[in-house]
């Protein structure tokens, strides 16, 4: 019975932690992805230099 009780405690603490992390994730600012690859940017920079 002790293992069941401790497993339940760990599960409930993990569920609370995950719920809090999920709520916090709504407040993190989204950083947009790049629109061009690094190779394309390097090629454009090289073309602009010539």
pLDDT of residue 34: 86
pLDDT of residue 49: 81
Give CA–CA dist 32/47, Å, rounded: 26
pLDDT of residue 36: 87
Mention every residue, 6+ apart, whose C-beta is less than 8 A from residue 36: 44
pLDDT of residue 7: 95
Give backbone dihedrals phi and psi of 32, rounded to 5 degrees, phi first: -65, 145
- Given a cut of 80, whether residue 50 has pLDDT beyond it is no
3-48 pLDDT tens trace? 888 999 999 999 999 999 999 999 999 999 888 888 998 898 888 8
């Amino acid at each position: 019975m002790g293992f069941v009780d401790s497993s339940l405690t760990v599960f409930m603490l993990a569920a609370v932690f995950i719920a809090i992390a999920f709520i916090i994730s709504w407040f993190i600012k989204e950083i947009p992805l790049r629109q061009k690859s690094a190779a394309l940017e390097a090629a454009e920079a090289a073309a602009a230099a010539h």
